[in-house]
Amino acid sequence: MTKPQIVWLRRDLRLTDQRAFTAAAEAGPVIPVYVLDDAAAKNHKYGGASRWYLHQSLEALERDLARHHSKLILRRGDAVEELCKLAEETGAQAVHALRHYEPWWRRAQGALKDRLDLKLYDGNYLLPPGAVTTGSGEPYKIYTPFMKASLAAIDGFDILPEPALSAPETWPASDSLSDWNLLPTKPDWAGGLREEWQAGTSAAMERFDSFLDVVSNYDEDRNLPAIDGSSKLSPHLHFGEVSPAMLWEAMSRYTSEGARVYRSELLWRDYAQNVICQFPDYPVKSYRDGYDDGLWRNPNRGHVIASELEAWQQGRTGYPIVDAGMRQLWHSGWMHNRVRMIAASFLVKHLLIDWREGERWFWDTLVDADYASNGVNWQWVSGTGVDSNMFVRIMAPLSQSEKFDAAGYIRQWVPELAHLSDREIHDPADDKRGDYPAKIIGHKEARERALSAYREAKD
């Protein structure tokens, strides 16, 4: 009997367009394995919402594998050690995996290569990091030239179908998913997540098909939080239930401006990987030096900010658009992109709280929490990053709320204000607020404080 082949799964939980599965299936019987390795990622082990989603996603993959009379082997512990043990138990010939670029996965890939025949493939990004470079051969630091070079380099994709899988003679032992306790129990806070998300490739493709009906308006509608104008595919892409190439190819029949902009948004994912390949600790370290010490009102500098951070986290800042976003996040594990920018900017500029506090909160509460995308976007908003708005560009939450027509969105997530008119709801007068909190800080005052803190930090 041909020796079995291990497929090591991480954020690539699909059978279609999954090169590791296809190559393994061509070489022999396949043993798919997922190792829950919390220690590897240290401070970036999966947060609560991601753990909930991971559970659903692994279940969906188990169902897909069952159609092929195959199974998912679950192990917990150090990924390198567990894979070596599994290879020894099963006499596997090789381990096949898609490449991942988080620093802990790069270390694990390096360590595993020394011990087993590890075969790595591309496929979770449109182009692998490093595929496009500047004229002088350097990796891009700025999004727009990166995006343009990537667009020029992409020449369509051949999408791999689900491979036919054959089973090993005997299956190795597996943990049971329910024993991993990925789901919250006491309290069970996941009701809103269950309402919103169905994990797995089929659910993702269904969502994408519905999105194709409205993609022609995406260029404008994606900025309007009150309507479903974006694809909501981010957790599906993060966990690799679909590849970006699958979406790109399906989109290639569409010629509208909306479809064109959608493709360029997909390239933000690639760009974020390209950034963490150059700066692996980007999600924990400001790129622009000097900001880390001077700018933020941190507890260790004597400021009392815990209650302000809590008000932001709980959606009680008194700014309806910010609070609507933070409540949407808490309820459903997702927040509209425009509102993510407004809420993040509010934390960093209005409250002068270190962007890493926001990164941590998003990491714990987003179902699409992604080491690279989260870090890159937080530093972009905070003005500390490699490709940033300068710190001095301060988003005005009240006028953004009006400009992007957020009245319906606020009504949905801040029901205390639902009785107000479209005109009043963005910035309710004090006597119209009822139980809704007063503004935690005035906009003008916050703006002036941020600008003077910036000037001080720069000096």
Cβ contact 51:38 at 8 Å: no
Beta strands in 43-162 (DSSP E): 73-76, 94-98, 118-121
The answer to whether 368 is annotated as binding is: yes
CB nearer to ligand FAD: pick between 36 and 342: 342
For position 344 contacting ligand FAD by CB under 6 A, the verdict is yes
Among residues 193, 246, 341, 347, which is the contact residue for ligand FAD, using CB under 6 A? Answer: 341
**C-beta atoms surrounding 330 within 10 Å:** 18
- Considering the rule CB under 6 A, would residue 266 count as an interface residue with ligand FAD? yes
DSSP structural state of residue 347:
I
Instruction: Answer for the pair 24, 30: CB distance below 8 angstroms, yes or no.
Output: yes
Nearest distance in Å: CB 259, ligand FAD: 12
70 or 345, CB closer to ligand FAD?
Answer: 345
Answer for which of 96, 238, 360, 439 binds ligand FAD (CB under 6 A) is 238
By C-alpha distance, which of 271, 309, 295 is closest to 391?
A: 295
Nearest-approach distance from CB 238 to ligand FAD, in angstroms: 6
The backbone region for 319, taken as left when phi is positive above 0, alpha when psi lies in -120 to 50, beta otherwise, is beta
Closer residue to ligand FAD (CB): 18 or 124: 124
Contacts to ligand FAD from residues 268-287, by CB under 6 A: 268-269, 272
Give the nearer residue to ligand FAD in terms of CB position, either 99 or 340.
340
Of 268 and 436, which CB lies nearer to ligand FAD in the complex structure?
Answer: 268
Q: Does 254 bind ligand FAD (CB under 6 A)?
A: no
Q: What angle do CA 272, 312, 54 make, to 5 degrees?
A: 50
* Only segment of 75-83, 146-154, 168-176, 264-272 that touches ligand FAD (CB under 6 A): 264-272
Question: What is the length of the chain?
Answer: 459
Q: How many of the other CB atoms lie within 10 Å of CB of 122?
A: 14
Locus of tokens 């479809």: 259
- How big is the site for ligand FAD, counted in residues (CB under 6 A)? 27
Residue of 329, 370, 397, 450 that binds ligand FAD (CB under 6 A): 370
- Local structure of residue 301 (DSSP, 8 states): G
CB of 119 to ligand FAD, least distance (A): 26
Contact call for residue 157 and ligand FAD (CB under 6 A): no
Reduced DSSP (H G I as helix, E B as strand, rest coil) percent helix, strand, coil of the chain, to 5: 50, 5, 40
Q: Point out which span in 181-189, 290-298, 372-380, 426-434 binds ligand FAD (CB under 6 A).
A: 372-380
Identified binder of ligand FAD from the candidate list 5, 50, 317, 374, rule CB under 6 A: 374
Closest alpha carbon to 286 in 356, 361, 347? 356
By the 10 Å C-beta count (0-12 exposed, 13-18 middle, 19+ buried), 231 is classed as buried
| Distance of alpha carbon 383 from alpha carbon 390, whole angstroms | 5
In sequence order, the 6+-apart residues with CB closer than 8 A to the CB of 433 are: 318, 416, 417
Note whether 245 binds ligand FAD by CB under 6 A.
no
Place of tokens 């590890």: 118
| Cβ nearer to ligand FAD, comparing 62 with 370 | 370
The piece of 4-12, 179-187, 334-342, 429-437 that touches ligand FAD (CB under 6 A) is 334-342
Q: Nearest Cα to 394, choosing from 326, 356, 447?
A: 447
Q: Give the x/- contact pattern for ligand FAD in 168-207, rule: CB under 6 A.
A: ----------------------------------------
354 among annotated binding-site residues:
no
Annotated binding residue 307: no
Half-sphere exposure of residue 139: CA atoms within 13 angstroms, side-chain side: 17
Among 98-106, 282-290, 340-348, 408-416, which window interacts with ligand FAD (CB under 6 A)?
Answer: 340-348
Q: Which region among 59-67, 158-166, 260-268, 449-457 touches ligand FAD (by CB under 6 A)?
A: 260-268
| Lookup result for tokens 């360590």 | 111
Contact present, 72 and 62 (Cβ < 8 Å): yes
Residue 121 or 125 with smaller CB distance to ligand FAD: 125
99 CB burial (10 A radius; 0-12, 13-18, 19+): buried
Annotation: binding site: 218, 230-234, 262, 368-370
* Chain contacts with ligand FAD (rule: CB under 6 A): 222, 230-234, 237-238, 265-266, 268-269, 272, 337, 340-341, 344, 362, 366, 368-370, 373-374, 377-378, 381
Annotation: binding site for FAD: 218, 230-234, 262, 368-370
